């Protein structure tokens, strides 16, 4: 999924910050650390880095699978951004343009999963830049582990002898002056970060700056960090290559030592190619039902459902239901097991798709949320939201499979099939007895509540009635004052379902696909945007 391109506001750009790698050697480029990971062959010195062989070229078939036969310049441009954290929310990633949410949102989801589940007790506000850097690398590695076929193939830009400090021309009373960008900006105002940004740029360039742009260090930083280089597809694809690493520890070490690969303005693209290369072209093609459409929409730049599923589960299947379905002799592949990260979408309420149990009930209380144009992330610290199902909850879920219209009742003729599916006693005589008890007026229907009260009368719910939810949207323009922050709400599950399609509240519409009886009071009385 993606979203229409919009020019970022100055406030939104200034609201993002670089994650600085103080260990990075001055003058490093967007290519990998050549002293340790690149070369004409061999395993990189003593081989302790885990590298296998030399830097290799990426197949053109992979480009075609991702972009189609021709890449539109505007679409490609919108994908040129690095991973950058919000100035106002230390662990929240900022998305500049529409399109790459299908990479950024899953990475954000895995980052939050690590933060919530594996490092409990951390306050969102006291996270340091180093901690956020570690969380980002861990999130990337978790995604790659799911995609690995044989080895990890880390994609980066090849070294270029032309790499040198970014130069810019400014006008002074004495005439034009050529100097290294950021050299006159005080470190306290962002000069250090600006110089790091340009040291880790994608390509050298010369920028003519309006003198007024130098007045604000924050806007200068944002402008050059995001716009110092605009790559053409041919130039970018001509410069990238991959290096093979055997173990995930090698990958984590690699990104720790070459963190600029993720944060430079090609970082999102480089990670996407790393994931695709690590998965392997043949594996991706075998999991996709339709290979005629590219993974990225050639007009809107949004990612396909197969690409979203690959990011979340490691499998490039095109559907979101449970397991595979046979339709007219054609096997349509879905999600085959409970996912670490969930997925819910407003498109299900519009009946464009059916999201299965595995996605709605992940192992961790983190869900990627899909609108018709964008991906965001929902999460909670309430672990009971993902506790194992009780028998009554299993029965409720299975009952809904027989209740295709969501009306909370089924025809009484389906009772035997329902009981058989739930592995209850399903002998015809017993089923007839239960039918008479559950439908005493002989109306021909079995109510959900009557069925649950009969077979599971005293079972306690594992789901809490009230809990907190937090929501992330990485686009500054979709946040109050262009500040990317987590929005918090207090959720309550009502006694009866209130599910309906409300075009004025897509957030609630999406949440009700997971919790049909949910109501949420968002802080500040402002419902977060899904777009």
Residues 6+ apart with CB under 8 A from 250: 49, 50, 51, 152
Six token digits for residue 66:
């991702």
Any idea of the CA torsion for 390, 396, 397, 399, to the nearest 10 degrees?
Answer: 140
Q: How many CB atoms lie within 10 A of CB 177?
A: 10
d(CA 245, CA 72): 32
- Strands of 206-208's sheet in order across: 175-180, 167-172, 206-208
d(CA 30, CA 147): 24
β-bridge mates for residue 519, sequence order: 492
The pairing of strands 366-370 and 342-345 is parallel
DSSP 435: H
DSSP 364: S
Residue of 87, 82, 92, 97 lying closest to 17 (CA atoms): 87
d(CA 332, CA 318): 8
User: Active-site residue 202, yes or no?
Assistant: no
60 in Cβ contact with 276 (< 8 Å): no
63 in Cβ contact with 237 (< 8 Å): yes
DSSP 477: G
Residue of 454, 473, 287 lying closest to 375 (CA atoms): 473
Residue of 211, 176, 225 lying closest to 14 (CA atoms): 225
Set 101, 102, 141, 147: catalytic member: 101
**H helix and E strand count, the chain:** 21, 18
User: Active-site residue 132, yes or no?
Assistant: no
- Residue 271 CA: distances (Å) to CA of 143, 151, 242, 314, 409: 10, 15, 11, 14, 47
Q: Nearest 5°: phi and psi at 303?
A: -85, 145
523 in Cβ contact with 488 (< 8 Å): yes
Set 237, 297, 374, 471: catalytic member: 374
Residue of 268, 261, 271, 267 lying closest to 32 (CA atoms): 261
Give me the active site residues, please.
101, 374
């Amino acid at each position: 999924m993606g979203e229409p391109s919009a020019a970022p506001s100055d406030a939104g750009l200034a609201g993002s910050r670089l994650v600085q790698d103080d260990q990075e050697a001055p003058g490093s480029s967007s290519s990998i650390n050549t002293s340790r990971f690149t070369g004409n062959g061999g395993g990189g010195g003593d081989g302790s880095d885990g590298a296998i062989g030399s830097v290799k070229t990426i197949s053109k078939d992979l480009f075609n699978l991702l972009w189609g036969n021709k890449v539109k310049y505007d679409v490609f441009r919108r994908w040129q951004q690095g991973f950058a954290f919000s100035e106002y929310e230390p662990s929240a990633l900022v998305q500049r343009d529409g399109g790459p949410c299908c990479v950024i949102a899953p990475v954000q989801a895995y980052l939050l999963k690590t933060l919530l589940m594996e490092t409990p007790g951390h306050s969102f506000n006291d996270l340091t830049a180093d901690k956020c850097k570690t969380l980002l690398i861990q999130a990337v590695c978790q995604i790659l582990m799911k995609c690995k076929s044989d080895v990890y193939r880390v994609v980066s830009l090849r070294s270029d002898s032309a790499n040198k400090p970014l130069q810019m021309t400014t006008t002074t009373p004495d005439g034009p002056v050529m100097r290294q960008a950021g050299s006159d900006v005080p470190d306290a105002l962002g000069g250090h970060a600006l110089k790091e940004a340009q040291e880790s740029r994608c390509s050298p360039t010369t920028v003519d700056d309006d003198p007024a742009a130098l007045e604000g260090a924050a806007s200068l930083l944002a402008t050059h960090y995001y716009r110092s280089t605009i790559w053409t597809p041919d130039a970018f694809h001509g410069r990238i290559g991959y290096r093979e690493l055997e173990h995930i520890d090698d990958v984590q070490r690699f990104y720790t030592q070459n963190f600029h690969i993720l944060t430079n303005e090609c970082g999102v693209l480089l990670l996407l190619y790393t994931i695709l290369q690590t998965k392997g072209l043949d594996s991706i093609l075998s999991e996709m039902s339709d290979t005629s459409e590219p993974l990225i929409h050639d007009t809107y730049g949004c990612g396909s459902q197969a690409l979203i599923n690959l990011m979340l589960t490691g499998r490039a299947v095109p559907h979101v239901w449970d397991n595979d379905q046979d339709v007219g002799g054609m096997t349509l592949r879905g999600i085959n097991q409970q996912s670490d990260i969930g997925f819910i979408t407003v498109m299900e309420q519009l009946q464009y798709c059916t999201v299965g149990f595995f996605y709605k009930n992940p192992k961790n209380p983190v869900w990627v949320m899909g609108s018709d144009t964008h991906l965001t992330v929902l999460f909670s610290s309430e672990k009971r939201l993902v506790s194992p199902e009780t028998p009554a909850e299993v029965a409720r879920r299975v009952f809904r499979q027989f209740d295709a219209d969501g009306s909370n009742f089924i025809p009484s003729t389906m009772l035997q099939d329902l009981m058989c599916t739930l592995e209850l006693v399903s002998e015809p005589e017993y089923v007839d007895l239960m039918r008479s008890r559950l439908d005493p007026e002989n109306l021909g229907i079995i109510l959900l509540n009557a069925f649950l009260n009969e077979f599971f009368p005293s079972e306690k719910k594992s789901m809490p009635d009230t809990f907190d939810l937090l929501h992330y949207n990485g686009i500054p323009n979709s946040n109050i004052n262009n500040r990317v922050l987590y929005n918090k709400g207090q959720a309550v599950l009502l006694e009866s379902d209130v599910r309906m399609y409300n075009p004025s509240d897509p957030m609630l519409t999406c949440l009700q696909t997971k919790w049909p009886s949910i109501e949420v009071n968002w802080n500040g009385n402002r419902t977060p945007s899904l777009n």
